Amino acid sequence: MTGNEAIARGAYEGGVTVGTAYPGTPSTEIMETLARYPEVDCNWSTNEKTALETAIGASMAGARVLVAMKHVGVNVAADPLMTLSYTGVGGGLVLVSADDPGMHSSQNEQDNRHYARFAKIPLLEPADSEEARDFVMAGLALSEKYDTPVMLRTTTRISHSRSTLVPGKRQGKEVVGFQKNPAKYVMLPGFARQRHPLVEKRLLDLGTEAEVSPLNRIEEGTKEVGVICSGVAYQYAREALPEASFLKLGFSYPLPEKLVRRFAAQVKEILVIEELDPFIEEQLLAMNLEVPVRGKEIFGLLGELGTEIIREKFLGQKLQLIQGNDKIPGRPPVMCPGCSHRGVFYTLRRLKVNVTGDIGCYTLGALKPLQAIDSCICMGASIGTSLGMVRADPSAAGKTVAVIGDSTFLHSGITALLDAVYNRAPITALILDNGITAMTGHQQHPGTGLNLKGEEAPAVDLEKLCLSLGVRRVTVVDAFDLKRVKAVIKEELAATEPSVIIARRPCIFLLSSFDEPLYVDEELCNGCKACLALGCPALSFKDDKARINPTICTGCGLCEQLCRFDAIKFSAERAGE
Ligand code: SF4
Ligand code: SF4
């Protein structure tokens, strides 16, 4: 199983009956897998905050619950998380934070272990799929024993790697229903003041538990170096330094200080091997151990580690790479052939406007040759950023467009649009509605008409939603109609009030079949390269002529609209020839 599948398996075997999530790489497959178990009621939430709030309610009602999100999603859920630490739980609650060191598919590589310390809750870090399953179950038990949410932190390599495990039986747990307890669940200041000392005591008790937890273990080896590590770093370090002694931390916060001291007394030097921040190392340095502690001075703060990196940086052994003869061409990420976003970004670039962007497939509009996005901060930030630009420089109103996808708009763009209406800011928001959460692998959302299990669900109407927020200028355009897209953007940029353009076309992969590929009439092509400005992977240029790769062209017709020499043709069938 992959780590993500194993996390879902752990939730199933651990008796979880409710699962919630917002999709985000590398966490997405957790809830997709858990939803396949009919005993578990799973849903996609509109964002990570509502996912955690739903999980909190389910826990209050006595259910065991798993809530999953990528690392930056925990920022969105941080508000309920901090107070959840005070209220504690009913049924066991495990929050999975899927971190992305190396930023394979993320806008930052924040180290979410800090959240466990910040919220004063236990942190579990599995190092393979079997541990991922087992740690979810251990987390549920810890959660109920200590009345606390538990964070299980995975990383991309754990989530997406496969290793073996023997599936076990599901444990049952009766859901008793919500029991009123205002002093525990109503965090008015008076009650919260009573809960805070319990949080501090709980942290001490959890530290005592971590000392004896089977999730932490010493593996004896040479006394020269003692490695302390957690998560995937354990796998790399174990392979690079097979002779060393190890303290492997699976229950890594609160730190089992007595266990650390016992380990430190057995070795001449401590080497902390951890990705990103010196989370463990700083705690060790604060303990003033009698042996030297090194870590970040050797391995640095950036990106992922690996066996070779540890060998090279600690042992000075550089891996000899075998050079092949073939030069492999670079394959930068690009929008797919037939992507409904391509023509919109082409138009924005031609209009020379400032574009505040957002998170989704369309962020690729920042890359060559489109280069049409000028900012990208976080989920839902495009509209607020645009609003700020217009507030700071009113002349920006006629030349700034906020671009946001349908799923992202529902996730966290709505409130910023409301801000624009409320503050009478003449911003132009362009919603790229391709009818799916595409970037993470086509997950449903509240606008698609289907839920996580593929059942019919009410679909929010984006036009009506925008109108109901007080936006009076809402226009829907076909994202493939370049003339109309351009005309509407110009018209709305000139408006003196907030406006929304919904550029609609389904993601090409929602279609059951593609249209016939187009072709280039070489007699008519004069090699001007105007069509290449779209950056469609199906288009290339050879011997002074444009070419279309018929095996990947989806027949969207965008390039045909750009060719002023009528050299790009629909196939005979489509042209009715
Ligand atoms: S835009 Fe038309 S003429 Fe220019 S390169 Fe492309 S196919 Fe040829
Ligand atoms: S019609 Fe043109 S733009 Fe569309 S997929 Fe084919 S080559 Fe690409």
Helix (H) or strand (E) holding 182: helix 182-185
CA distance 302 to 314: 16
pLDDT above 70: residue 573: no
Distance 549 CA to ligand 2 centre (A): 9
State the amino acid at position 200 in one-letter form.
E
Q: Which residues pair with 520 in a beta bridge?
A: 568
> Strand, helix or coil at 504?
strand
Q: Assess whether the C-beta atom of 548 lies below 6 angstroms from ligand 2.
A: yes
- Residue nearest atom 8 of ligand 1, based on CA coordinates: 525
Residue 241 is predicted with a pLDDT of 96
Give residue 539 CA to ligand 1 midpoint distance, Å.
Answer: 10
To test the pocket of ligand 2, the residue of 336, 518, 569 to mutate (highest count of ligand atoms within 8 Å of its CB) is 518
The answer for residues whose C-beta is within 8 angstroms of residue 386's C-beta and 6 or more apart is 356, 400, 401, 402, 420, 427, 428, 429
* pLDDT computed for residue 441 by the predictor: 86
In sequence order, what DSSP letters do the residues of 134-167 get, joined into one string?
HHHHHHHHHHHHHT--EEEEEEHHHHH-B-----
- What pLDDT is attached to residue 98? 97
Contact 97, 123 (CB under 8 A): no
Ranges of each domain in the chain: 3-212, 216-315, 342-509, 519-575
- Of 479, 493, 475, 473, residue with least CA distance to 351: 493
On the question of pLDDT at 333 being above 90, the answer is: no
Q: Are 379 and 47 in contact (CB under 8 A)?
A: yes
Q: Is 26 exposed, middle or buried (0-12, 13-18, 19+ CB in 10 A)?
A: buried
Q: Which of 528, 543, 569 to mutate to test the pocket of ligand 1 (most atoms within 8 A of CB)?
A: 528
Mean pLDDT of the chain: 95
pLDDT tens digits along 259-272: 999 999 999 999 99
| C-alpha–C-alpha distance, residues 488 and 343, integer Å | 14
The reply to whether 342-509 shares the fold of 216-315 is yes
Architecture of the domain defined by 342-509:
3-Layer(aba) Sandwich (3.40)
**CATH of the domain spanning 216-315, picked from 3.30.413.10, 1.10.10.10, 3.40.120.10, 3.40.50.920:** 3.40.50.920
pLDDT band at 575 (very low <50, low <70, confident <90, very high): low
Give the number of other CB atoms < 10 A from CB of residue 467: 14
Of 168-177, 483-492, 558-567, the range with the lowest mean pLDDT is: 168-177
What mean pLDDT is predicted for residues 192-216?
Answer: 98
Specify the 3-state DSSP secondary structure of 430.
Answer: strand
User: Looking at ligand 1, which residue's alpha carbon is closest to its atom 4?
Assistant: 528
In CATH terms, the fold of domain 519-575 is Alpha-Beta Plaits (3.30.70)
* Pairing relationship of beta strands 539-542 and 545-548 according to DSSP bridges: antiparallel
Q: How confident is the model at residue 172 (pLDDT cuts 50, 70, 90)?
A: confident
User: What ligand 1 atom has the least distance to the C-alpha of 566?
Assistant: 2
Nearest CA to ligand 2 atom 2: 559
Judge if the beta carbon of residue 531 lies within 6 A of ligand 2.
no
CA 501, distance to chain mean position in Å, is 26
Query: Does the Cβ of 565 fall within 6 Å of ligand 1?
Result: yes
Q: What average pLDDT does the segment 388-410 reach? A: 95
Atom of ligand 2 nearest to the CA of 558: 3
pLDDT at 328: 78
Could you read off the pLDDT of 60-106 as tens digits, one per residue? 999 999 999 999 999 999 999 999 999 999 999 999 999 999 999 89
Q: How far separated are the first and last CA of the chain, in Å rounded?
A: 53
Query: In terms of pLDDT, which residue wins out, 174 or 136?
Result: 136
State the Cα–Cα distance between residues 543 and 141, nearest whole angstrom: 67
Task: Report the pLDDT value the prediction gives residue 327, as an integer from 0 to 100.
Answer: 77
- Closest ligand (CA of 518): 2
Enclosing H/E stretch for 201: helix 189-212
Cβ of 562 below 6 Å from ligand 1 = yes
- DSSP letters, 456-483, are B-----HHHHHHHTT--EEEEEETT-HH
Choosing from 480, 531, 536, 574 the residue with most ligand 2 atoms within 8 A of its CB, the one to mutate for a pocket test is 536
pLDDT digits (tens, 9 = 90+) for 101-128: 999 989 999 999 999 999 999 999 999 9
Task: For residue 197, give every residue at least 6 positions away whose Cβ sits within 8 Å of its Cβ, in sequence order, or none.
Answer: none
Amino acid letter at 36? R
CA of 513 to the centre of ligand 1 (A): 26
SS3 242: coil
Whether residue 577 has pLDDT greater than 70: no
**Any bridge partners for residue 499, and if so which?**
428, 473
pLDDT higher than 60, residue 341: yes
Separation of CA 551 and ligand 2 centre (Å): 11
* pLDDT of 364 over the 70 cut: yes
Q: What's the pLDDT score for residue 299?
A: 94
Q: What pLDDT, in 10s, does the model give residues 510-544? A: 998 899 999 999 999 999 999 999 999 999 999 99
Cβ partners under 8 Å of residue 458, min gap 6: 446, 449
572 pLDDT tier (thresholds 50, 70, 90): low
Q: What pLDDT shows up at residue 576?
A: 54
pLDDT given at position 330: 77
- Which ligand has the nearest atom to the CA of 338? 2
Superfamily (CATH) of domain 3-212: Thiamin diphosphate (ThDP)-binding fold, Pyr/PP domains (3.40.50.970)
Share of the chain above pLDDT 90, in %: 92
> Tens of pLDDT along 559-570?
999 999 999 999
Q: Using a 6 Å cutoff on CB, does residue 555 contact ligand 2?
A: yes
Does the pLDDT of residue 223 top 70, yes or no? yes
Mean pLDDT of 45-74: 97
Mean pLDDT of 268-283: 97
Residue 320: pLDDT band (50, 70, 90) is confident
Query: What's the CA-to-centroid distance between 559 and ligand 1, angstroms?
Result: 8
